[in-house]
Amino acid sequence: MSCGDPHDTNCAEALARMVFFIDNELADADNATIQQHLDDCAPCVDVYALERAVKALVARSCAEHAPDDLRQRVLMRIRSVQVSYTETTEIGEA
């Protein structure tokens, strides 16, 4: 994507680092670079807004916890698979 305007940071590079920018995972200098790009590039601001909205929606949708009985059944199944894998591995080594 490119808005056609010259920027210090091209749109593709800014968009590739957008998720890290949203999550506050960039170094201060990189953070400032992306913020400067957003200040100068309306199309990238639109993408940024959409990415933030999607991230917020996913966070709200994933806030519920599984019922305790379901959680216990899943944990039991995981343990069962681990035991089966361990036994199979030990038999194969003998």
- C-beta pairs of 43-49 under 8 Å, 24+ apart in sequence: 43/1, 43/3, 43/11, 44/1, 44/3, 44/11, 44/14, 44/15, 44/18, 47/1, 47/15, 47/18, 48/18, 48/21, 48/22
Q: Are residues 13 and 47 in the same domain?
A: yes
The domain total for the chain is 2
Q: Are residues 51 and 81 in the same domain?
A: no
Under the banding of pLDDT at 50, 70 and 90, the label for residue 82 is confident
Q: Are residues 48 and 82 in the same domain?
A: no
* Model confidence pLDDT, tens digit, residues 40-67: 999 999 999 999 999 999 888 877 788 9
Q: Are residues 69 and 56 in the same domain?
A: no
Whether the predicted pLDDT of 7 surpasses 80 = no
Structural domain of 79:
65-94
